[in-house]
Amino acid sequence: FFQQWYSGSMKVICMWLADRLDLQLHVYQLKTLIKIVKKTYRDFRLQGVLEGTLNSKTYDTVHSRLTVEEATVSVTDAGGLQGITMKDSDE
Protein backbone atom coordinates (compact mmCIF):
# COMPACT_ATOMS: atom_id res chain seq x y z
CA PHE A 1 0.00 0.00 0.00
CA PHE A 2 2.75 2.47 0.97
CA GLN A 3 4.70 1.74 -2.20
CA GLN A 4 1.67 2.57 -4.36
CA TRP A 5 0.97 5.70 -2.31
CA TYR A 6 4.57 6.90 -2.64
CA SER A 7 4.73 6.12 -6.37
CA GLY A 8 1.45 7.91 -6.98
CA SER A 9 2.58 10.97 -5.03
CA MET A 10 5.84 11.23 -6.95
CA LYS A 11 4.03 10.70 -10.25
CA VAL A 12 1.64 13.60 -9.53
CA ILE A 13 4.53 15.93 -8.65
CA CYS A 14 6.45 14.80 -11.74
CA MET A 15 3.45 15.44 -14.01
CA TRP A 16 2.87 18.86 -12.45
CA LEU A 17 6.52 19.77 -13.07
CA ALA A 18 6.35 18.39 -16.62
CA ASP A 19 3.36 20.64 -17.36
CA ARG A 20 5.53 23.58 -16.32
CA LEU A 21 8.70 22.41 -18.06
CA ASP A 22 9.17 25.65 -19.98
CA LEU A 23 8.44 27.84 -16.92
CA GLN A 24 10.73 28.62 -14.03
CA LEU A 25 9.17 27.87 -10.66
CA HIS A 26 8.48 30.73 -8.30
CA VAL A 27 10.70 30.65 -5.21
CA TYR A 28 7.73 29.80 -2.96
CA GLN A 29 6.66 26.94 -5.23
CA LEU A 30 10.21 25.64 -5.18
CA LYS A 31 10.55 25.86 -1.39
CA THR A 32 7.24 24.09 -0.89
CA LEU A 33 8.01 21.34 -3.39
CA ILE A 34 11.44 20.71 -1.88
CA LYS A 35 9.89 20.32 1.57
CA ILE A 36 7.13 18.03 0.25
CA VAL A 37 9.48 15.78 -1.75
CA LYS A 38 12.06 15.45 1.03
CA LYS A 39 9.41 14.78 3.71
CA THR A 40 7.60 12.28 1.52
CA TYR A 41 10.85 10.44 0.75
CA ARG A 42 11.89 10.28 4.41
CA ASP A 43 8.48 9.31 5.75
CA PHE A 44 7.99 6.49 3.27
CA ARG A 45 11.54 5.25 3.85
CA LEU A 46 10.67 5.02 7.56
CA GLN A 47 7.53 3.05 6.64
CA GLY A 48 9.70 0.42 5.00
CA VAL A 49 9.25 1.27 1.34
CA LEU A 50 12.06 -0.41 -0.58
CA GLU A 51 14.98 1.60 -1.96
CA GLY A 52 14.11 0.52 -5.51
CA THR A 53 10.72 2.16 -5.18
CA LEU A 54 12.03 5.23 -3.36
CA ASN A 55 14.74 5.92 -5.92
CA SER A 56 12.57 5.34 -8.97
CA LYS A 57 12.96 7.05 -12.32
CA THR A 58 10.10 9.37 -11.37
CA TYR A 59 11.83 10.42 -8.16
CA ASP A 60 15.09 10.95 -10.03
CA THR A 61 13.29 13.20 -12.53
CA VAL A 62 11.66 15.25 -9.75
CA HIS A 63 14.91 15.47 -7.78
CA SER A 64 16.84 16.54 -10.86
CA ARG A 65 14.33 19.26 -11.81
CA LEU A 66 14.20 20.66 -8.28
CA THR A 67 17.99 20.66 -8.04
CA VAL A 68 18.26 22.64 -11.31
CA GLU A 69 15.56 25.07 -10.15
CA GLU A 70 17.37 25.44 -6.82
CA ALA A 71 20.63 26.28 -8.58
CA THR A 72 18.86 28.83 -10.78
CA VAL A 73 17.27 30.54 -7.79
CA SER A 74 20.55 30.62 -5.87
CA VAL A 75 22.18 32.47 -8.79
CA THR A 76 19.32 34.88 -9.54
CA ASP A 77 17.84 35.53 -6.08
CA ALA A 78 20.29 36.21 -3.24
CA GLY A 79 18.03 35.36 -0.27
CA GLY A 80 15.62 33.11 -2.10
CA LEU A 81 15.59 29.68 -0.49
CA GLN A 82 16.84 30.65 2.97
CA GLY A 83 18.66 27.39 3.66
CA ILE A 84 16.12 25.05 2.06
CA THR A 85 17.92 22.65 -0.26
CA MET A 86 17.41 19.31 -1.98
CA LYS A 87 20.65 18.05 -0.45
CA ASP A 88 19.98 15.84 2.56
CA SER A 89 21.75 16.53 5.81
CA ASP A 90 23.13 12.98 5.77
CA GLU A 91 24.72 13.32 2.30
Domain edges within the chain: 1-19+26-75
Q: Which residue has the higher pLDDT, 73 or 7?
A: 7
Q: What is the pLDDT of residues 4-22, one digit of tens each?
A: 999 999 999 999 999 998 8
Q: What is the pLDDT of residues 32-41, one digit of tens each?
A: 999 999 999 9
Percent of the chain whose pLDDT exceeds 70: 86
- 10 by DSSP, 3-state: which? helix
User: How far, in Å, CA of 28 to CA of 35, rounded?
Assistant: 11
In this prediction, residues 60-75 reach a mean pLDDT of: 89
Helix (H) or strand (E) holding 75: helix 57-76
Identify the pLDDT of residue 80.
63
User: How far, in Å, CA of 66 to CA of 17, rounded?
Assistant: 9
